[in-house]
A and B are shown apart, each in its own frame.
Chain A
Amino acid sequence: MTALSPLRQPAKRYLLWCANEHIEFRIPEINAISSMFNIPLMWIDKPKEDPYLIVEMRNEGDARRLMSRCMLVRSCFELWGQGNTEEELHSSIKLFPLDMMKPHLAPEKTFRVRVESFNKTLKNAEKLKKIESLSYLPFEGKVDLKHASTCLHLLEYYGLHPNETHRGPYKLFLGRWVVDGQRELISKFSLKSRTYIGSTSMDAQLSFIMANFAQVQPGSTIVDPFVGTGSVLVAAAQFGGHAWGWDIDYLTLHARTKPTRHSQKERTAGESILSNFEQYGLKHKYLDVVVMDNARPFWRDVPYVDAIITDPPYGIREAMERVGTVKGPKTAEDTIKQQSSSHHFPSKMNYNLSDVYCDLINFAARHLVVGGRLVFWLPVFREDYDENHIPSHPCLRIVFNCEQVLTVHASRRLITLVKTRHPQEGEVGKCQVTDLNAKFRDKFFQAASLTKEERASLKSMFPRDKRGQGLAYRLGESKNKTKVLKMEAASECSSGQHNMLLDICSKLPHLANLSLVKFTFGGRVAMDHRVYTRQFEFKLGGRTVNAAPRHFVCATLCSASVGTNSGDLSPTWPLPGKKVVPVGVRTMVVAARTKVGKGKEWKSGSYSPYITSY
């Protein structure tokens, strides 16, 4: 963990300007990285929601090392001054030691001042005035707007809420840019260009965050017991870990599942987990993948793993499987798999979600080195959640627990556990994990046998408008009336298949003007699947509001399906209105009417898909 006691030597203050998403993960990520590199760090200002942090570190070298792994910090600035008003800012700057400023503004250096505002647009004339207000600084070098060696940034922060921007800035900062974080990895490793993906592939940003929580370093041995398409391991490999993965799903490991990309009809020979590593020059970090059942592992009982980083099934989208006899009909999938007697694919029975996590916890306790970490996602039914739902083991201690909200009712938590000692004979873990699938599905399908009261409470889980159409949420019905969460803006979409699935989670009690409201995303984001809309009419809690397409990101149908692949839901447009379709935790279908415009492969007419969530 970070050093909380004051740094004993002279320290420098740094402003960390953060990404406006995954807020709960921000500080833990910095803590994980600083403890991994033994960077003493003192927190000066850590607001709960505002996208900046102020820390003290010993020197710029430490700052650069921290940022060399940071996904959620955009940029790091050496802080020269701050204030709540322009006056305060300038007074603060004037207190900053001149001998710390001068070397960067010396005659042989070039400089540039940039004015940036968060949540407000400033006109160029305004910006120029602000730059001129800094003329008292000891500038000695020449201005170079393109390649300056010293970049000063004047940051004006107008808060997170659009309605407050008419007042002055909430906070102002002046900082000298030091280095950026690693956000460029997000596009470089985007699933859009990944060779082999499936419906369970973890998005790049979260995979890297998981690798940071696990403190992956060059030379570490990393494993993923639910490797799927290897997306989590790729990020760990990029940070230097050598990776083993395994999975019970033979077809996924051999890349013979049905493709989830809309435009793709069949898997190509080049697709495999190894190909994902090769794509980024990481084949040297790929050890092996194995078809294996976690309930019956084949690993030697020695602690050989530095970190386990994984995304187990949540019990909703993927059937959880274990080898065993079940007195029931074989599923179609099982039948297809029985290709030849030499490759007998055993029929599988479901085992409950708690067993899945128990097996994982016990494997971790036995096979991690002491000090090694287990990082995994845990599905949570928000109303019921309490800390006891986190799988536990006497040898594993909780380090982080960060929630990513997916829908009004469900979220997933990224849990990080560290192994403190080796287990003694008979010491096992305890797991009591909510199976969201069971919770929602059973409640829904047993509707007939519900009492009147139960049916009424069920209604709030599947809210509908007057016409009986499913709606994602009834604003104001959710227990936690917290503020709007952040948005991933979408760029314009164009395409063919009209499966408009948007992950939307809004906890705003009311929506006055939708175009100013921001939505957050839980989970799945678009993968080469785009829709061209001109006007988007959005039904929300009985009202109709318009929203520009740029507020939405289209998600592919693959995240809507029940089961391992997309396509379980018929990908036609529109989706059946009255039917509440049980879909994966990561998705919701939007209720809206689109006026369809130009673009090829575009059906004419207007469509009304529906929002369902649970």
Chain B
Amino acid sequence: MKLMTHNMLTSKGMKNVKEGFPLKIQAEEMRNVDIDYDRDFITRMIPKLDWKALVFAAQCVGHKEDLPDTLPEGYENDNELLKRLHHVLLEVEVVSGCLECPETQRKFPISNGIPNMLLNEDEV
């Protein structure tokens, strides 16, 4: 699971959950992959991301030092930052571990890099 994906996931749809975002990442196995840098894609995605959640996720997996606390103005022209963002968003992957709902502490397992967001019968 890439951190870009994590940034889009929320447990708000669950019963009794108000915000459900961001989910906490408990990583067991991580890996780095090589993904071609696509500047257009990164700059298009940035406005859709929740920056604080991204920083939080990066912290969970030990990549915090790469990112500033807030998204700086004029980021579109900061190639250095964009490249680091690209790395954190797309090249750092959680292979196994779990995602935890911040309110109910319900754990969603990740295996083979694929998160499992299915609820049980009693949670629906």
User: Chain A: residues with CB nearer than 8 A to chain B?
Assistant: 218-219, 221, 242, 244, 248, 250, 253-254, 272, 274, 283-284, 287-293, 296-304, 323-325, 342-347
Contacts and interface: CB of A to CB of B under 8 A. Distances in A.
Contacts of B88: none
A296 B106 CA distance: 15
B77 interface: no
Contacts of A254: 111-112, 114
B120 A344 contact: yes
Nearest to A219: B40
Interface in B7-25: 7-13, 21
A291 B116 contact: yes
Given A219-B38, A219-B44, A346 B8 contact: no
Given A219-B40, A296-B124, A323-B120, A304 B114 contact: no
Contacts of A291: 114-118
A287 B9 contact: no
A372 to B, nearest CB: 12
Contacts of A250: 116, 118
Contact of A324 (B112, B117, B121): B121
Interface in B33-82: 33, 35-36, 38, 40-41, 44-45, 48, 50
A284 B116 CA distance: 23
B115 A293 contact: no
Contacts of B92: none
6 contacts: A218-B41, A221-B45, A290-B114, A293-B117, A325-B121, A346-B118
A298 B116 CA distance: 11
B109 interface: yes
A342 B38 CA distance: 38
Nearest to B115: A290
Contacts of B21: 300
Contacts of B12: 300-301
A248 B124 CA distance: 15
Contacts of B2: 287-288
A244 B5 contact: yes
A253 B117 CA distance: 13
Contacts of A272: 112
B118 A283 contact: no
A400 B111 CA distance: 39
Contacts of B111: 254, 343
B8 A304 contact: yes
Contacts of B1: 288, 290
B10 A299 contact: yes
Interface string B82-124: 0000000010000000000000000001011111111111101
Q: Which of B7, B11, B13, B117 has the most CB of A within 10 A?
A: B117
B109 A343 contact: yes
Given A250-B118, A287-B5, A300 B50 contact: yes
A597 to B, nearest CB: 46
B46 to A, nearest CB: 11
Given A289-B114, A291-B114, A296-B13, A346 B121 contact: yes
A345 B8 CA distance: 23
Nearest to A244: B5
Nearest to A302: B48
Nearest to A295: B124
Contacts of B115: 288, 290-291
| 5 closest Cβ pairs, A-B complex | A288-B5, A219-B40, A284-B36, A291-B116, A325-B121
A298 B5 contact: no
Given A254-B112, A288-B113, A300 B8 contact: yes
Contacts of A284: 35-36, 38
A221 to B, nearest CB: 7
Contacts of A290: 1, 5, 9, 114-117
Given A218-B38, A301-B12, A302-B48, 18 more contacts: A250-B118, A253-B114, A254-B111, A283-B35, A284-B38, A290-B5, A290-B9, A290-B114, A291-B117, A293-B119, A298-B10, A298-B13, A300-B9, A304-B45, A342-B109, A345-B118, A346-B118, A346-B119
Most A CB within 10 A of own CB, among B2, B11, B44, B118:
B118
A80 to B, nearest CB: 40
B113 A300 contact: no
A218 B43 CA distance: 13
Nearest to B9: A298
A289 B9 CA distance: 12
A192 B8 CA distance: 35
Nearest to B39: A219
A248 B118 contact: yes
Given A219-B40, A284-B35, A346-B119, A299 B8 contact: yes
Nearest to B50: A300
